C-alpha cells in the first residue's frame, strides 16, 4: 500500500519509538476514567445518522434502540472517523476540500490474531516473543509482563495482507497466521479454542484501523482535516499531528475544545 513519504517522515520525527509507554493495567482504563468523570452525560449505543447546522445551532440526529432523537447544541466536536463520517448525511454539505478529504482519507487495514499457548516456550529459546517481519507484519507478546504460565503471541498484520486475511474464514485465518508465528517462534502449539482474530475493517464503528495519508495528501488535505465547518469542529487521531496514536487523539480533543471556547467567547 502506498503511504506518503512525508507522512512517514512525520511519524518518525514525532514518535520516540525507543521510549514508548503504556497504561498500566490496560488501555481500557483511560476511556473508563473519562467515562466516570462524565457519568450520566454519555449516551451509549447511539448512532449519529445525520448532522445539520444553521445560523442558530447544530444538531446531531441519532438512532438508539430503533428510536430517533435530535440533540441540539451551539457547537459540536465531531470525532467520528472519516471512514464512517462519509456515510452520514450532512446538511448543508461541507466545503469542497473538506468533503474531498473526508471521502478520500484512507484508513490502514489491520487484522490481529492472538494465540494463547500453554507455556511461554519461546523464552526457553532465549527469545522475547516480539518480532518485526516483512510484509508489514509484527509479532507481539502482550503477556510479557503478566504473571502466570500461559502466554499470548499476537500476529499484527497491516496493509494488503490484512485485506487478504479479511477474505478468509476464521479457521483459515488462524492457520495462516500460525504458519508465520511458528516460523519465527518454532514450536507454536496454540489452543484453537483460545485463539481469536479481529479485523478493524469489519468493525462497523471504525471501518479501518487508523488514518494514513497517500502521496500528495499531506499538502492537499492537512489544513482541511482540521478546519472547522461552521459550528462543527473536528477532533480525533486523523486530525492530529500524531495520527494513529492515542496521544494524537487526546491532543486533538484539547485543540478542538479550545477552539469551541474561543468561538463561543466571541459570539457569546
Ligand atoms: C490495531 C491498532 C493498534 C493501535 N496501537 C496503538 C498503540 O500501540 N498506541 C497508541 O497510542 N495508539 C494505538 N492505536 C491508535 C489509537 O487506538 C487511536 O489513535 C485512537 O483510539 C483514536 O481515537 P479517536 O477518538 O480518534 O477514534 P476512535 O477511538 O476510533 O473513536 C471514534 C469513536 O466514534 C464512534 N463512532 C463511529 N461512528 C459513529 C456514529 N455513526 N455515531 C456515533 N459514534 C460513532 C466509535 O464507536 C468510536 O467510539 C492503535 C489502533 C489500532 C486500530
HEC letters along the chain: CCCCHHHHHHHHHHCCHHHCCCCCCCCCHHHHHHHHHCCCCCCCCCEEEEEEECCCCEEEEEEECCEEEEEEECCEEECCCHHHHCCCEEECCCCHHHHHHHHHCEECCEEEEEEEECCCHHHHCCCCCCEEECCCEEEECCCCCCCCCCEEEEEEEECHHHHHHHCCCHHHHHHHHHHHHHHHCCCCCCCHHHCEEEECCCCCCCCCCCEECCCCHHHHHHHHHHCCECCEEECCHHHCCCCCCHHHHHHHHHHHHHHHHHHHHHHC
pLDDT at 264: 79
| Atom 23 of ligand 1, nearest CA residue | 249
Range of the domain at 261: 5-106+210-267
Are 222 and 261 members of one domain? yes
Q: Where do we find the cell 430517533?
A: 68
Atom of ligand 1 nearest to the CA of 49: 41
Number of domains in the chain: 2
In a shared domain, residues 115 and 191: yes
User: Do 127 and 249 fall into the same domain?
Assistant: no
When pLDDT is averaged across residues 226-243 and rounded to a whole number, the result is 96
Q: 6-10, 75-79, 144-148, 258-262: which has the minimum mean pLDDT?
A: 144-148
Does residue 40 belong to any structural domain of this protein? yes
Q: Are residues 56 and 171 in the same domain?
A: no
Phi/psi at 105 (5° precision): -60, 125
Phi, psi of 115 (to 5 degrees): -115, 130
Distance CA 173, CA 166 (A): 8
Q: What is the CATH number of the domain that holds 145?
A: 3.90.660.10
* Domain membership flag for residue 204: no
Kindly tell me if the per-residue pLDDT of 243 is higher than 70: yes
Pocket flag, ligand 1, residue 47 (CB < 6 Å): yes
Residue 225 inside a domain? The answer is yes
Q: What pLDDT digit, counting tens, does each position of 140-184 carry?
A: 999 888 899 999 999 999 999 999 999 999 999 999 999 999 999
Q: Is residue 90 part of a domain?
A: yes
- Beta carbon of 210 within 6 Å of any ligand 1 atom: yes
Q: Could you tell me the pLDDT band of residue 263, with boundaries at 50, 70 and 90?
A: confident
Same domain, 117 and 78: no
Distance CA 176, CA 189 (A): 14
61 domain residue, yes or no? yes
Residue 268 has a pLDDT of 58
Do 63 and 129 lie in a common domain? no
Which of 178, 199, 220 terminates a domain? The answer is 199
Lowest-confidence pick of 19-23, 81-85, 235-239:
19-23
State if residue 208 touches ligand 1 by the CB under 6 angstroms criterion: no
Residues 182 and 263 in one domain: no
In a domain, 205, yes or no: no
Claim to verify: residue 70 and residue 81 sit in the same structural domain? yes
Which of 105-114, 124-133, 189-198 has the weakest average pLDDT? 189-198
Which of 32, 79, 232, 240 gets mutated to test ligand 1 (max ligand atoms within 8 A of its CB)? 79
State whether 72 and 163 are in the same domain.
no
Whether residue 216 sits in one domain with residue 187: no
Residue 155: what pLDDT? 97
Amino acid at each position: 500500500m502506498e503511504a506518503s513519504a512525508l507522512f512517514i517522515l512525520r511519524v518518525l520525527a514525532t514518535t520516540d519509538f525507543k521510549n514508548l509507554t503504556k497504561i498500566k493495567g490496560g488501555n481500557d482504563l483511560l476511556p473508563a476514567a473519562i467515562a466516570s468523570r462524565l457519568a450520566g452525560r454519555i449516551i451509549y449505543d447511539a448512532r449519529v445518522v445525520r448532522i445539520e447546522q444553521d445560523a442558530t445551532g447544530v444538531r446531531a440526529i441519532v438512532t438508539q434502540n430503533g428510536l430517533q432523537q435530535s440533540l441540539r447544541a451551539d457547537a459540536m466536536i465531531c470525532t467520528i472517523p472519516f471512514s464512517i463520517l462519509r456515510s452520514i448525511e450532512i446538511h448543508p454539505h461541507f466545503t469542497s476540500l473538506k468533503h474531498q478529504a473526508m471521502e478520500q482519507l484512507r484508513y490502514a487495514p489491520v487484522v490481529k490474531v492472538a494465540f494463547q499457548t500453554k507455556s511461554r516456550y519461546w523464552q526457553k529459546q532465549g527469545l522475547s516473543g516480539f518480532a518485526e517481519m516483512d510484509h508489514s507484519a509484527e509479532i507481539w507478546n502482550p503477556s510479557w509482563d503478566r504473571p502466570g504460565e500461559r502466554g499470548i503471541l499476537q500476529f499484527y498484520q497491516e496493509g494488503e495482507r490484512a485485506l487478504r486475511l479479511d477474505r478468509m474464514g476464521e479457521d483459515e485465518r488462524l492457520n495462516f497466521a500460525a504458519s508465520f508465528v511458528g516460523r519465527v517462534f518454532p514450536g507454536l502449539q496454540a489452543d484453537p479454542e483460545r485463539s481469536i482474530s479481529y479485523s478493524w475493517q469489519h468493525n462497523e464503528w471504525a471501518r479501518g484501523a487508523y488514518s494514513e495519508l497517500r502521496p500528495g495528501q499531506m499538502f492537499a488535505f492537512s489544513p482541511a482535516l482540521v478546519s472547522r465547518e461552521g459550528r462543527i469542529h473536528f477532533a480525533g487521531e486523523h486530525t492530529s499531528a500524531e495520527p494513529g496514536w492515542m496521544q494524537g487523539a487526546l491532543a486533538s480533543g484539547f485543540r478542538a475544545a479550545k477552539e469551541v471556547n474561543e468561538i463561543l467567547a466571541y459570539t457569546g
